[in-house]
Amino acid sequence: MKKINFVSYFCYTLAALSMFGVFAVRSGIVGLIFCILLAGFWYQIGTSFLKRENWAWWVALVLISLFCIGSFISVYSAFVGPIFNHNMTGVGYGRWISLLLAVLSSYLVALLLKGATRNEFRKKTQQN
């Protein structure tokens, strides 16, 4: 199933963004270690998801759901908040990026919750 691999590509993209954070964020050694560990964590989830390991489905579902909730909070503060509070301003291109990430992460959560996706991981577990 090629659509399932999209979840692992999303994890790889977040790993790459975390490695970008190593060079872009000036936060000292603690921030450096955190970004490297975060990159390794997302990379491991993506690789395990490609291998169809059962735990990877659960971890991907939880983390992408949290990412989706964070994206919707960002959409609220970028779109809905400025409508009701005139002291709050929009964030320019950031509002469109947050909307794109909210739609993308919602699609990934829906893809993970499909029965075909879950059965793919159950078949792998039963074969072992």
DSSP 3-state assignment of 52?
Answer: coil
Total number of domains constituting the chain:
1
Q: Count of CB atoms within 10 A of residue 23's CB?
A: 9
Backbone dihedral angles phi then psi of residue 42, each to the nearest 5 degrees: -65, -35
Place of tokens 């992460």: 105
Number of alpha carbons in the 13 Å side-chain half-sphere of residue 61? 13
Q: pLDDT tens across 4-62, in order?
A: 788 888 888 888 888 887 777 777 778 788 888 888 888 998 888 888 888 888 888 89
Helices (H), the chain: 2-24, 28-50, 54-75, 81-84, 93-113, 115-127
> 113 lies in which domain range?
2-127
User: How many whole angstroms separate alpha carbon 118 and alpha carbon 34?
Assistant: 31
pTM: 0.76
- Give residue 107's pLDDT: 92
Across the range 74-100, mean pLDDT stands at: 77
Across the range 80-103, mean pLDDT stands at: 78
> Which positions ≥6 away from 60 have C-beta within 8 Å?
7, 11, 45, 49, 112
- The highest-confidence range among 4-13, 22-31, 79-88, 101-110, by mean pLDDT, is 101-110
14 burial type by CB count under 10 A (0-12 exposed, 13-18 middle, 19+ buried): buried
